[in-house]
Amino acid sequence: MFTVNHALLQKSYRAFQTYLQDISAIALLLLPMTLTNAMTVLLGQGLARAEFDTLAGVLFRLSDLLINLYPLALSVVTSYYLAQRSALNAGLFLVYNLVLFYALSSALGLLAAPLYLPHSPLLALLCPLLTLIYNRCHGVPSLVPQSLEFAAVLSRQVRHFFCFAMLCLVLSLSSPALLPWLASLLEALTPDPLVLWGGLGYQLTLGLLGAIGINGHNFLLPLKQQLFHSTAQNLQAWQAGEAPLNVLSQGFYDAFMSMGGSGNSICLLLCILIFSRNRHHRLLALAASPMVLFNINEVLLFGLPVIFNPLLIIPFILVPLVCFVIAYGAIAWGLVPPVAAIVDWMTPPLLSGYLAMNDRPEGALLQLLLMVVGVLLYRPFYHAYAGQEPALADEQVERLTLTQLLHEIKQAARHNRRLAQAQRRVRRMMHTGQWEVHYQRQHATQRPGPSSYEALIRYRDADGSLHGPGFIADFQCLNAMPLLDQLVLQQVFSDMQQLPATQFARIGINISAMSIQQADFVPQLDTLLERYQIPGHQLEIEITEETLLEDHATLLPTMAQLKQRGIQVALDDFGAGFASFPHLMKYPFDKVKLDRSLLLDCKQQKGRQLYRLLSQIGNLADCQVLAEGVETQEELHFVRACGIELVQGYLFARPVPLGELLTQLAKPAAPAEQAPGSA
């Protein structure tokens, strides 16, 4: 019982760690937007001080726009990232998420004027998660233009989206009824930053969010706005002589809790510059200094990194809490006066403390004391981090750094480009040119009679050039192999109507794992067989080891249904993958085709021994064995010596189109045991 619980605990921990890393990567995608907003505010303040009010106003309006766009951008980026991690269609996922996000935001009154943008970061993260759960429970079918199943798949997509829209409607109608309960619950859980314990909880929340790469001030924007209004009212009452100044206020948090950014990062910066011997860290600190000086710490936060760094997260959260207690005690005990002004959050430390206490030096001195305490608290944790074993440090850098996160994002973007390119190529192939099936004979070295053939799909473009099977990768990339399989089946059945039934035994058709695992594969095959009047005994279905290894529960029943119809089932390319003998023995194959790669390895003694061993698989599995890729007399003599009677390769026949095959079948048959070029 303990083992099960321990395994479950480990699985849950890994899932939670992955989820936190996903959040960090999402925050990283929004980093340019966050830094742009900060730089816009900084430049606007500079222009305002230089009395360029018009230009400053333009920049401040841009900053307001970026702030209002943040929740929407967070939701969009989260949708994109979750879709990529879950192998879902990013475009569809984004549309679904936006419908849900706007439906709930509108119902809850969370659309901010004048642009009517959703302004709840919490809802921005919740909606993509709900969308992910829905799409995992009810998979969205891929839509390929000009496909044979376009209308059917489009119909399924419409039904899928309609159901989701109805779900959004239900949630939006029920959410206002739940709003009072949710409001009371959130009110009970939300810390009050104007009292001691609530302030510690508020600061702890900001630290925890910053530790995973989320800008807590943006995420807790409604609470920060409430804090700002309460502070403004208190200052107005104090100036009128109606109330004393509060110890805790917006100015208190900006002056003493965010020196250098969240986590009082200026303390970490000074710690690195004073005590570090790591050249890389010192260069990073120097590069981050101009930003940290104006309380923008993302470069240091992601570059060192602090996020997901167990050693540096501790002081990152702890230092502001200690500074909170010291500053609160100093003001409450009357050692320094209360903060009497709201200073812009980008004002550099020391200057911000001086201005916050109405141009009194006590504020700057208190900040200086807090920075000294912060540096001393950061120092042991930083030294422990910088002095780790190289292997562990390298592993953390590989997993946690900005470079690695950006690499994952770039990989996802490349994957999207590959999907788009594959879709364009498939669309072009479905719209122009034509599909052809070429047939390669399977030669029986000992038993005379009609030969079997393998059907191989080819594409001839509008210029008349013939293309080999490379295009199959595009269909695989788009999860559109069932579409290609249906196209091949129809083309082969159409060709078989022109073949003299007595001149061939059967035609083998490669079917992908995706098609063979579909519950309606056999019924669809029955429909085609009946439409083209093809008897089942003239057909052979070839499947690959990929299907075998996935071991889906549908494979055995599907094979049984095929064999009931007289259709043979062959295992193609055996030996090219990792299928084992127990897997092979589990399924009732009629034929096993040994991959040519095994034959190429027969130049070595071990390769020959392995081939001889595999050639006996027919006796064990009660099925025929065929040697693929036989191209020379030496290879033919070797496979014959192994007891293999069925061969396929260029030595006997190359793949030919239907017209050439009809010409060959019209000629008198050569002796079955006579190979081309043999004596």
Encode pLDDT of 309-354 as tens digits. 778 888 999 999 999 999 999 999 989 999 988 887 778 899 888 9
Tell whether 491 and 514 lie within a shared domain. yes
Between 79 and 391, where is the model more confident?
79
Q: Is the pLDDT of residue 4 over 60?
A: no
Is 199:191 a contact under the CB 8 Å cutoff? yes
Q: What b/e readout covers 140-170, taking b as 16+ CB neighbours within 10 angstroms?
A: bbbbbeebebeeebeeebeebeeebeebbee
| Residues 173 and 254 reside in one and the same domain | no
Report whether pLDDT(541) > 90: yes
Q: Does 251 share its domain with 336? A: yes
Write the CB contacts of 499 (distance below 8 Å, at least 6 apart in sequence): 661, 662, 665
Closest-CA residue to 264 (of 141, 163, 377): 377
Residues 450 and 368 placed together within one structural domain of the fold? no
Query: For residue 214, what pLDDT is reported?
Result: 67
- 379 lies in some domain: yes
Instruction: List C-alpha distances in Å: 151 to 88, 162, 525.
Output: 21, 16, 19
Residue 146 and residue 36 in one domain: yes
- Angle of helix 31-49 versus helix 53-85 axis, rounded to 10: 170
Confidence of residue 22 (pLDDT cuts 50, 70, 90): low
CATH number, domain at 479?
3.20.20.450
Residues 210 and 141 in one domain: no
Q: How many domains does the chain fold into?
A: 3
Question: Residue 608 falls within a domain, yes or no?
Answer: yes
Q: Could you give the dihedral angle defined by the CA atoms of residues 565, 567, 568 and 574, in that order, rounded to the nearest 10 degrees?
A: -120
Would the pLDDT of 416 be above 90?
no
Longest dimension (CA), the chain: 118
- Model-level pTM? 0.50
* Whether pLDDT at 182 is above 60: no
The reply to whether 108 falls in a domain is: yes
- Average pLDDT for residues 535-564, to the nearest whole number? 82
Report whether pLDDT(363) > 60.
yes
- Evaluate if residue 358 carries a pLDDT over 70: yes
Token duo for residue 156: 């399924």
Average pLDDT of the chain, as a whole number: 80
Give bridge partners of residue 456 from the DSSP assignment: 438
Q: Is the peptide bond before 310 cis (omega within 30 degrees of 0)?
A: no
504-524, pLDDT tens digit by residue?
A: 889 999 998 888 888 788 988
Give, in order, the Cα–Cα distances in Å from 223 to each of 199, 249, 264, 275, 669: 12, 12, 20, 37, 88
pLDDT surpasses 90 at 43: no
Helix or strand holding residue 569 (H, E): strand 568-574
Nearest-angstrom CA–CA distance, 317 and 203: 8
> What range defines the domain where residue 226 resides?
204-400
Residues 6+ positions from 393 with CB-CB distance below 8 Å: none
Residues 451 and 363 in one domain: no
Place of tokens 């003599």: 637
Q: How far apart are CA 639 and CA 631, in angstroms?
A: 11
